[in-house]
Amino acid sequence: MGSYGFRRYEHERDEKDVCELCWKNALPGGRPFPLIPEAGAVSFGRVVTGPFAKYARDFFYVVNELSSGELVGYLTGAEGGPVKTKEGELPWMLWRDRVAQQIAEDEFGEISSRLWIPAWRFVEGVKLLYTISLGPRAMQFLLHAKRSHEQEMPEMPPCPEFHFQVAKGHRGRGIGGKLIDYFLRQLTAKKFKEIGAQVTVCEGQTPLAHYARMTVRGAKLWRIYDRRETAMYTADEKRAWALGPVVENVTLVAEKKRLLAFVRSDC
């Protein structure tokens, strides 16, 4: 597409760049995520994108600027159906969150009281030093994520879902729409009538009204399926980063045909 190339994700080649882009865009509005500093950007990105990188690569795409080779966008997606495990079938979102939690513990150590005992095991001690090096607020964030993740993550119906990021300076050129279009075209089964997406919104950056305003031929594109406030940020952080008083995680659902018409009109 013009000066951009689209292709499938290649783990060895793309993981670091995808993780860093994920970290840079993790705040609402697409700003660097300061609770995990840049030193932990790859670890943070693995937690977010790792379940897809390991188990849903058929729906993982990246975008490179052709002249520089820079990775400037990606999309991760999944069909969203139940996953077969040793425990039996688990809903996709529950399974995804459990995998993400395991990746977090692999990266940062087990986020529990044992995190504070370096002698528990050498590997855990090394992870502890790494986590401490990210700063006390990073440790508080990780502990909060472990304790409150399930309560703060909204539910999603059993339908395909996607998550994408486009680097600042490359937005408004149809990259996101092209990624979503390609993802939707891979979902050929007629049973997929709805598509879900989870977003983080706040009045100071990207408000929920931003999604509510999106329409296709006079009809609203998204409907709110579930929304939950997060206590991840302190009042001082909300003021410093202009997030507004309330930050919410929201699940949005759209009709597949309507979303396809929307992104194609935007490409």
- In what helix (H) or strand (E) does residue 245 lie, and over which residues does it extend? none
Neighbours of 193 (CB within 10 A): 10
**For residues 168-186, average pLDDT:** 93
Whether residue 184 contacts residue 263, with contact meaning beta carbons closer than 8 Å, is answered with yes
Instruction: Find the CATH number of the domain harbouring 125.
Output: 3.40.630.30
In sequence order, the 6+-apart residues with CB closer than 8 A to the CB of 135 are 37
- pLDDT category at 130 given cuts 50, 70, 90 is confident
Residue 247 has pLDDT above 90, yes or no: yes
- pLDDT category at 87 given cuts 50, 70, 90 is confident
pLDDT in tens, 89-125: 888 888 898 899 889 988 988 755 554 555 555 556 6
Residue 199 has pLDDT above 90, yes or no: yes
pLDDT of residue 110: 72
DSSP class per residue in 107-140 = HH---SGGGG-GGG-HHHHHHHHHHHHT-HHHHH
Whether residue 79 contacts residue 160, with contact meaning beta carbons closer than 8 Å, is answered with yes
- pLDDT category at 83 given cuts 50, 70, 90 is confident
- pLDDT category at 128 given cuts 50, 70, 90 is confident
Range of the domain at 25: 4-266
**For residues 163-179, average pLDDT:** 94
- pLDDT category at 28 given cuts 50, 70, 90 is confident
- In the chain, the number of structural domains is 1
- pLDDT category at 52 given cuts 50, 70, 90 is very high
